[in-house]
Amino acid sequence: MRTPDCAILIADCAFHQDRHYEVSDDGLVRFHFNFDVSIDSRADDTTVAEIVNHSAGILMMQPDRMMADHIPRERRQSFVTIACDPRWLSDFFNFRLEDHVERQDRGDAPFLYQELAFTQPIRKVINTIAAQPVSGLGGARIVTLAQKALLLSLECLADDHRQRPARLSPGDIVAIEQARDILLSNLAAPPNIQALSRRVGINRTKLQYGFRDLYGMSVMQFAEKQRMERARVLLRDTDMSVSAIALELGYEHASSFSTRFRHYFGHPPRLIRVQR
């Protein structure tokens, strides 16, 4: 549904056939709240790997860039997305997004993605939105709830920005390196950022920003990259079937693995076997 200030997409469905969309956000910012989702999104040749199950985040595309979304058939899509103009956030909430999102020194990067803590208050509001009828009073309530979800999300962004560490201590670096080793040892089921921070003994925010400072990518991007690189090695150097490789790397279905591999490398897994 649309209002003069924002667009709200509520999804809980599955398609009988694969779907492929190309969209331009024209300068809007998307707030994603995902429960079950298997959409593979790419901006130019870059995979947006952070858009995964049970996660929240914001996505800002450059106005002249297109995003390609591939949605596999027979997979449930359950999520809420709220898109709005950053200028409206400034006017309505007195919140300048550019003062709080993590700046990326990536030159002509097609997008900026930043994770949000999917806190219990946010999850409760999003669940309520998903349960509302879209017509009549239900539609009006969705708008009010969407504004509340945005306010809670902006508060999370502000908290993360205030807590961002100015520098990493030697102990922080050791903990972040331990987090990297844990991810490398658990490619099939990498722990989320909260569980990982508990295991290595530093807070989530320091781990999130420190990991990017040390390795140039987010924790989730790193885990995705390692899974895909491991898959490529197994395809090239072993006779394991695509199904067996998918299972070893934590994919329930070979089709899901093949879709992710194709979107990450630009070609299907079988092409590696053909080139051997």
Per-residue pLDDT of the chain (276 residues; tens, 9 = 90+): 888 889 999 999 888 888 888 888 888 999 999 888 877 777 776 776 555 667 888 888 887 788 888 888 888 889 999 999 999 998 888 888 877 776 544 445 677 888 888 889 999 999 999 998 888 778 889 999 999 999 999 988 887 766 666 578 889 999 999 999 999 999 988 888 888 999 999 988 788 888 888 887 788 888 888 999 999 999 999 989 999 999 999 888 888 888 888 878 888 898 887 665
DSSP designation for 186: -
The class that CATH gives domain 6-163 is: mainly beta
CB 182 within 8 A of CB 191: yes
Tell me the CA end-to-end span of the chain in Å, nearest whole number.
Answer: 50
CATH code for 226-275?
A: 1.10.10.60
Would you state the structure tokens that stand for residue 264, as one six-digit string?
């990450």
- The tally of CA atoms less than 13 A away on the side-chain side of residue 254 is 9
Domain boundaries, the chain: 6-163, 170-216, 226-275
CB 156 within 8 A of CB 116: yes
